[in-house]
Amino acid sequence: MKKLLGLLGAAGLVATTSATVVACGNKASDVTLSETNLSKEFSVKTSKITADGTITFKLAKDSVLNVEVKAGSQKAGEVIIVVSTTADKVKDKEVKETVDVIHKVKDSTKSEETVSSVSVKIEAKKASTGKIKLDTADFKLTATNSTTNAEVIAALKKFKGLEKVVEKIDVKITKTNATLSAKGSIKIEAVGTSTLVEASKTFEIDQLVKVDLSTVKNLLTPTNDTTVDEVIRALKTVKGLEEVALTTDVKITKINAGTSLDGSIVIEAVVTSTLVSGKLDLVIARS
């Protein structure tokens, strides 16, 4: 026994992929659905279709399909049909069904007429490999230009099932540093022979913005004993300055304090630096 689903051509319906199969007249066309493509459109073209006629569908009694007219698609000689299913209906075995497209002329004494029959195949669910898919795994990584491969591996190992992940054996890591004109990225890609992971995942590195040294607060409390290395280490704790370097990015000038005069440490950006701009004056209190 079969069930009849009736829908007017102007009915509002579901979104679908842009792929379209054309069925001309009664000739059957093939439509393939899968767990990654649950919906498709097909176009029925025949002079028997009228713009204001009624379109209905005949499906199998136990059909796993939903079939609808695409909103606003029905016109003289053509209608677009949307056929879909849901993820829970995709089984371990392939399923095949036939959809009969039926048309009835408005205010006509003529009986309904099948204007097309479409074969719909729902591919079997793909067998699980047991591997963790990197593209859907929700592991945490804050990507910066200074992020190392070791840090990436450490982040992966915190994810359940990846405790034994190894670089080159399981994953390939490719880093593109961010610049002042473009974002960067860290791409983690599964090695084909890995038994742990598959697919890939990319983390975005924010586009670089020069840090204005004059805006840096509470960098350190300078004394006559403060060294240049200590200043550089303090600068590296500032977000965006993790890779700051003496000579390449900053020039540091120190004047020791005396008993009657304050001293200073002046940190000045090198003009060609891609990390910093401006100047920061630190006061060394007189002794």
Q: What is the pLDDT of residue 116?
A: 92
Burial of 139 (0-12, 13-18, 19+ CB in 10 A): middle
pLDDT of residue 61: 92
pLDDT score, position 75: 96
Determine the pLDDT at residue 17: 45
For residues 172 and 205, is the Cβ–Cβ distance under 8 A?
A: no
Domain with CATH 2.60.40 in the chain: 2-122
User: Residue 203's pLDDT is what?
Assistant: 96
Cα dihedral sign, 227-233-238-239? positive
Please answer whether residues 39 and 16 qualify as being in contact, where contact means their C-beta atoms are separated by less than 8 angstroms.
Answer: yes
Task: Determine if the pTM surpasses 0.85.
Answer: no
pLDDT of residue 27: 55
Tell me, what's the pLDDT at 5? 41
pLDDT tens digit string along 134-164? 998 888 899 998 899 999 999 999 999 999 9
Burial 236-275 (b: 16+ CB within 10 A, else e): eebeebeebeeeebbebebeebeeeeebebebbbbeebbb
Instruction: Write down the pLDDT at residue 127.
Output: 72
Below-70 pLDDT ranges, the chain: 1-29, 128
Hey, which CATH number is domain 2-122, 3.40.50, 3.30.310, 2.60.40, 2.30.30?
2.60.40
Residue-level pLDDT at 36: 86
Q: What is the rounded CA–CA span in Å between residue 101 and residue 68?
A: 10
pLDDT at 279: 97
Q: How would DSSP label each residue in the chain?
A: -EEEEEEETT-------S-EEEEETT---EEEEBTTB-EEEEEEE-TT--TT-EEEEEEETT---EEEEPTT--BTTEEEEEEE--GGG--SS-EEEEEEEEEE-TT-SSPPEEEEEEEEEEPPPPPP-SPEETTT--------TT--HHHHHHHHHTSTT-TT--BTTTEEEEEE---SSS-EEEEEEE-TT-SSEESEEEEEEPPP--EEGGG--------TT--HHHHHHHHTTSTT-TT--BTTTEEEEEE---SSS-EEEEEEE-TT-SSEESEEEEEEPP-
